[in-house]
Amino acid sequence: MTLEGAAAALVAAGRRLDALGLVPATAGNFSVRLDARRLAVTVSGRHKGFLTADDVMVVDLDGIAEDPRKKSSAETLLHCGIYRRFPQAGAVLHGHSIANTFLSRAAGNDLTLAGYELLKAFPGLPTHDAEVTLPVIPNDQDIARMQRGLDLLWDGLPSIPPGYLIRGHGSYVWAPDMPAALMRMEALEFMLACELEERRQPR
């Protein structure tokens, strides 16, 4: 992936997720793997619906910027953690929605989605007759510590779903490329919205 191609993909993703209401204000951040040691990521503090190519920067897998004049979100380290852990990951999306914020606050250590047609957006789930359990991790201003906690969590799981929730904060998904990452984000957020709506119904 060239930097130009990555920037175009990130700008388009911002417009798509903004249109869906998943990245309000300056929330969220996105990245694309450029090669084995570098990724293109959105800069900090920009509204994702109005990104330009200049709002994309390059960092290494330790989050160190190639251009020190640009600053990425502290959560870039979570993107780096995904790329270090999963060689097949080519794109990472982080969004904030009402559904994922509310449900992650109400959940325990994980949240299970079952019986939805859109579960097929996740690998290894060919029908709706399946379930996926997403980890819900505590929010922490110490991002490096949060990533260490994720690494320990992943070490203990028999299989790792390509996504997780940060309590009261937002969702992360990843996939081999940006189209697949967008599909997973949209599918996840649709299912979370359904879960939230179900909880609103009178018992």
Q: Which residue numbers belong to the known binding site? A: 94, 96
DSSP symbols for 149-174: HHHHHHHT-SS--SEEEETTTEEEEE
C-alpha 191/C-alpha 187 separation (Å) is 6
Q: Is 22 helix (H, G, I), strand (E, B) or coil?
A: coil
Q: Which two tokens stand for residue 70?
A: 């640009």
C-alpha 171/C-alpha 32 separation (Å) is 17
Binding residues for Zn(2+): 94, 96
